[in-house]
Amino acid sequence: MPRSLIDFAELLSRVENDRELMRDLLSVFKEEFPRRRQALREAVESLDAKRVALEAHALKGMLANLAAREAAEAAARLEQLGRDGKSAEFRESLATLDNIAEELLPQLDACMAEVSG
């Protein structure tokens, strides 16, 4: 049993038990996330610190809204590295975020199935 990366109860309370809204948010996330992640990856590759901070900030917001705390924290760390201009640590931090994201995505699908069912 993999650890849960989404706090389902918190997410439910955040949308005030509105399952339709939750479904809506999840599908927006599914649509936006790959695009944002790609943008962040490009920023990291080009060592553009300002861009890294900006993209990581956007991802952090999205993840926090889904009550995906661990992933949001990973994005926050990358955002801070961007702000501090610590470009040497970008790649490693991105890899951490990527690992969490790989685990997170199937859980989101499960979540989606649960609210749709």
Partner 1 sequence: MRILIADDEIMSQRLLQKTMERAGYEVTAVGNGRLAADELCKSEGPKLALVDWVMPELDGPGVCREVRKRKEHSYVYMILLTSKEKKEDVVAGLESGADDYLTKPFDPEELKARVRTGMRILDLEDRLIEAREGMRFQATHDALTSIWNRGVIIELLGRELARSRREGKCTAILLGDLDHFKSVNDTYGHLAGDEVLKETARRLLSSVRSYDFVGRYGGEEFLVVLNNCDPAYGWTRAEDIRKIIALRPAQTSGGLVPITMSLGLLLSQEWGYRSAEELLQEADAALYAAKGAARNCVKVATPKIQQGAGDIPVPELERRRR
Residues that bind partner 1 (CB under 8 A): 13-16, 18, 21, 24-25, 28-29, 32, 54, 57-58, 60-62, 64-67, 76
Alpha carbon of 111 to those of 26, 38, 50, 54, 56: distances in Å? 8, 23, 33, 28, 24
Query: What does the alpha-carbon distance between residue 113 and residue 115 come to, in Å, rounded to a whole number?
Result: 6
Nearer to partner 1 (CB atom), residue 69 or residue 86: 69
Q: Shortest distance, CB of residue 100 to partner 1, whole angstroms?
A: 17
With both helix axes pointing from N to C terminus, report the angle between 19-45 and 49-65 in degrees, rounded to the nearest 10. 160
Nearer to partner 1 (CB atom), residue 33 or residue 90: 33
Nearer to partner 1 (CB atom), residue 13 or residue 99: 13
Q: Shortest distance, CB of residue 90 to partner 1, whole angstroms?
A: 19
